[in-house]
Amino acid sequence: MHVSVVVPLYNKGKYVIRALDSIVAQTFVDFEVIVVDDGSTDNSGELARAYPDERIRVIVQSNRGPGAARNRGIAEAKGHYVAFLDADDEWMPEYLEISVRRLDELGPSVASLTSGYIEYPRRISSEAMWRRRGLQDGLQTLPEPSNVLALQYMSSYMSPCSTVIRTSVVRKHGGFFDHYRCTYGEDAALSLQILLHECVYFQMRPLICFHREASDLSANYTRPRTLEPFLTNPGGVLLMLPRGTPSSAASFPGFACLQGGSDAGVLG
């Protein structure tokens, strides 16, 4: 099995078929789909169980939040890579093919690949925005430790729904933050750990459709939201840092992976 696709599901009866349709329509076909019904109270689970594709299986658990739902899927995953899709979003048909092919070419030293996206309902590509913020195609170099904003941009870009990651890596770093039944920021702790400890690849071509109009958890905020839940435990944040954290980003693993030369080519 090459890829395990994990779909956390909670009361998305209006959208879950669209998400599953986009998975089944992938040009890459060697995958399983693990839908984790996180205590839905609508017909979401029913619709997923009735979907006519034998690669899809549904696991039901009591409501524990999106991080716990994704972690349950990770625990069940049989694939070499794991990919995540929220039940109200969708992938373009070549998403898995392009991501898996590139990761296979890059080899085991590269932990993950993150793609760009189209934001709905405005149908606006994210590419120009992220390029203005300094992100580029290719293997990623961590910014200087003093450049916190650049690190934040890199972490924010690594949305679960647009990132394919080696299953062994996501397990090694403990998966998503799932304490306190948090409903936002559960991915930030994982993306930071991966950036600090692993080599990652970004490609800016949009291959995902993020439906902001369909999401209850990622709506645009008109005021600053409360502190990310994982940041309420400073000791846990310190444990994310590589042992002997240096004063220069040049000593981080994310920089070291570039010592043999960089790859800034855009995927076809």
Residue listed under structure tokens 């692993």: 198
pLDDT, tens only, 165-221: 999 999 999 999 776 555 555 688 899 899 999 999 999 999 999 998 877 644 444
> pLDDT value at position 87?
98
> pLDDT value at position 255?
43
Residue 124 reports pLDDT greater than 90: yes
Measured distance between the N- and C-terminal CA atoms of the chain, rounded to whole angstroms: 25
Average pLDDT over residues 214-240: 52
> pLDDT value at position 195?
93
pTM, two decimals, is 0.83
Spacing of C-alpha 2 from chain mean position? 17
Residue 224 reports pLDDT greater than 70: no
Residue 29 reports pLDDT greater than 80: yes
Residue 19 reports pLDDT greater than 80: yes
pLDDT above 90 coverage of the chain, percent: 70
Band of residue 266 on the pLDDT scale cut at 50, 70, 90? very low
Band of residue 110 on the pLDDT scale cut at 50, 70, 90? very high
Average pLDDT over residues 8-24: 98
pLDDT, tens only, 129-159: 999 999 999 999 888 877 889 999 999 999 9
Q: Write down the domain spans for the chain.
A: 3-217+225-256
CATH number corresponding to 3-217+225-256: 3.90.550.10
Q: Is the model more confident about 118 or about 228?
A: 118
> pLDDT value at position 145?
78
Mean pLDDT of the chain: 85
Q: Is the model more confident about 198 or about 265?
A: 198
> pLDDT value at position 267?
33
pLDDT above 70 coverage of the chain, percent: 77
> pLDDT value at position 180?
56
Average pLDDT over residues 259-267: 37
